[in-house]
C-alpha cells in the first residue's frame, strides 16, 4: 500500500516535471525566436519585446529561463503583462469564481450520467435506450457555443431573466432573497450547459461498461443459479461495472476547464476559462503558461486521487 503510494507519487512528479516543460515550451514554439521583431507584425511592439525579455530572461540559456520562470511563479513574483498584478493572485481570484460552477457541473454530471447509462444498458434495445442514445449523441455532437446561444434565447424569451455575467448589473440594492435568486439564475444555465457534454460522454461509457459486465460469465452464472434479476443487476453487475469510473474522476477536470473557455467567454463569467481567453487575446504569456500548468497539475492531482480510490475499491489492483 505504502510502496504503491510512493510509486504513484514518483510517477506523477515526473509527469509534473514534463508538464512544466511543455507548458513553458509551447510559447517558445513559434518559429524564430520571440525576440525577433517582424516589422510587418503589429503584435510585437518594442515595448512588448522589453517585457518579454524581462519576464523570460531571453539573453540567458533556455534551461535557466525555465528555472527562473517557475521560481518567479512559485514565489509569487511573476507578474501579468497586462496589469502588472501577480499571476498567482489573479488566477486564484478567478478560480474562486469558477469553483461553484465546477462543483455544480460535477454534481450534475454524476447525478445524471449514471442512472441514464445504467437504465439504457439494462433496457437494451428498448425505446428508452434508443431515444437516449440519439439524444446523448446529439448532445455530444452539438457545438457548445451553439447550444449556449440556443439556451440563452430559450431562457431569456421564456423566463425573462438575465443570465449573462455573475449577477444582474445594477441590482445590488435589492433584498437578500432576490439577490440569491439572481445569482442562482446566472449559475444554473451556465452549469447545465457545462455539464451536458460530460453527462453525455460519461453516460455512454457507463452504458457500454454495464453491457460488457451484463454479458460476462459470472453474471450468466448468477442468473443460472436462479438469483433474482434485481439482485443480479444491482448486486453482481453494477458493483463491478462501476469500478472503472473511479478513474474518470481525474480525467473530468481537463474537459471542464477546456469547456469553460468557451462558455465563460459567452456568458461573461469572470472565471479561469475567461481569464485564459483574455490572456491569450492580449498575449499575456505569464498567465497563459501558468494557467496551462495549473490546469495540468489539477488533473494530475485528480488522477492521483482516483488511482488511490481505485486501489481501495478493487482489491485485485496492486500496481
Partner 1 sequence: MTTNTQALSPSRLAWQSFLKNRTAVVGMAAVMGFFAVALTGLLLTKGEHPILNPREVRLPDKLKPPISTPNREAVPAASLPRLGVYVLGTDELGRDVFARMLEGGFVSLSVGFVAVGIAVAIGLLLGGIAGYYGRSRVGVWRLRLLTVDTVITGLIDVMLSFPSFFLILTVVAVLKPSIWNIMIVIGLTSWEGTARFVRAEILSLREQEFIQAAQAVGVPGYRVILRHLIPNSIAPVLVSATLGIAGAILTESSLSFLGFGVPPPDATWGNILSDGKRYIFDAPWLTLIPGTAVLIVVLAFNLFGEGLREAFNPKLRQG
Binding site residues, partner 1, CB under 8 A: 11, 14-15, 18-19, 22-23, 26-27, 29-31, 125, 130, 133-134, 137-138, 140-146, 149-150, 153, 204, 208, 211-212, 215-216, 251, 253-255, 257-259, 261-262, 265, 273, 276-277, 280-281, 283, 288, 291-292, 295-297, 299-300, 303
26 versus 62: smaller Cβ distance to partner 1: 26
In whole angstroms, the minimum distance from the beta carbon of 258 to partner 1 comes to 3
In whole angstroms, the minimum distance from the beta carbon of 12 to partner 1 comes to 9
214 versus 222: smaller Cβ distance to partner 1: 214
246 versus 295: smaller Cβ distance to partner 1: 295
Q: What is the 3-state secondary structure (H, E, C) of 141-173?
A: HCCHHHHHHHHHHHHHHHHCCCCCCCCCCCCCC
18 versus 178: smaller Cβ distance to partner 1: 18
38 versus 47: smaller Cβ distance to partner 1: 38
If DSSP codes are grouped into helix, strand and coil, which group holds residue 263? helix
Between CA 66 and CA 21 the distance in angstroms is 8
Between CA 119 and CA 190 the distance in angstroms is 27
- Cβ–Cβ < 8 Å for 80, 93: no
In whole angstroms, the minimum distance from the beta carbon of 141 to partner 1 comes to 4
In whole angstroms, the minimum distance from the beta carbon of 33 to partner 1 comes to 13
Cell numbers at 310, concatenated: 481505485
188 versus 301: smaller Cβ distance to partner 1: 301
Between CA 251 and CA 222 the distance in angstroms is 33
In whole angstroms, the minimum distance from the beta carbon of 61 to partner 1 comes to 19
Between CA 38 and CA 44 the distance in angstroms is 7
Between CA 282 and CA 271 the distance in angstroms is 17
In whole angstroms, the minimum distance from the beta carbon of 174 to partner 1 comes to 28
Give the residues across from 79 on adjacent strands.
86
The length of the chain is 319
Amino acid at each position: 500500500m505504502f510502496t504503491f503510494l510512493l510509486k504513484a507519487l514518483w510517477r506523477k512528479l515526473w509527469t509534473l516535471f514534463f508538464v512544466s516543460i511543455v507548458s513553458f515550451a509551447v510559447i517558445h514554439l513559434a518559429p524564430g525566436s520571440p525576440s525577433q521583431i517582424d516589422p510587418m507584425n503589429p503584435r510585437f511592439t518594442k515595448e512588448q519585446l522589453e517585457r518579454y525579455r524581462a519576464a523570460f530572461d531571453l539573453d540567458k540559456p533556455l534551461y535557466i529561463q525555465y528555472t527562473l520562470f517557475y521560481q518567479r511563479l512559485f514565489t509569487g513574483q511573476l507578474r501579468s503583462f497586462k496589469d502588472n498584478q501577480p499571476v498567482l493572485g489573479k488566477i486564484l481570484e478567478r478560480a474562486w469564481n469558477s469553483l461553484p460552477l465546477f462543483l455544480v457541473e460535477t454534481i450534475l454530471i454524476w447525478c445524471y450520467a449514471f442512472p441514464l447509462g445504467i437504465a439504457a444498458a439494462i433496457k437494451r434495445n428498448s425505446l428508452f435506450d434508443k431515444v437516449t442514445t440519439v439524444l446523448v449523441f446529439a448532445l455530444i455532437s452539438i457545438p457548445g457555443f451553439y447550444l449556449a446561444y440556443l439556451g440563452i434565447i430559450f431562457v431569456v424569451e421564456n423566463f425573462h431573466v438575465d443570465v449573462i455575467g455573475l449577477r444582474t448589473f445594477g441590482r445590488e440594492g435589492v433584498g437578500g432573497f432576490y439577490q440569491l435568486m439572481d445569482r442562482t439564475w446566472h449559475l444554473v444555465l451556465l452549469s447545465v450547459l457545462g455539464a451536458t457534454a460530460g453527462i453525455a460522454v460519461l453516460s455512454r461509457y457507463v452504458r457500454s461498461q454495464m453491457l460488457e459486465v451484463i454479458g460476462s460469465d459470472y453474471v450468466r452464472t448468477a442468473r443460472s443459479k436462479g438469483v433474482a434479476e434485481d439482485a443480479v443487476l444491482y448486486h453482481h453487475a453494477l458493483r463491478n461495472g462501476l469500478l472503472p469510473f473511479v478513474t474518470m474522476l481525474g480525467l473530468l477536470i481537463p474537459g471542464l476547464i477546456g469547456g469553460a473557455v468557451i462558455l465563460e467567454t459567452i456568458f461573461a463569467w469572470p472565471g479561469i476559462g475567461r481569464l485564459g481567453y483574455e490572456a491569450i487575446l492580449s498575449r499575456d504569456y505569464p498567465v497563459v503558461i501558468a494557467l496551462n500548468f495549473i490546469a495540468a497539475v489539477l488533473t494530475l492531482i485528480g488522477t492521483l486521487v482516483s488511482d488511490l480510490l481505485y486501489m481501495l475499491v478493487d482489491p485485485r489492483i496492486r500496481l
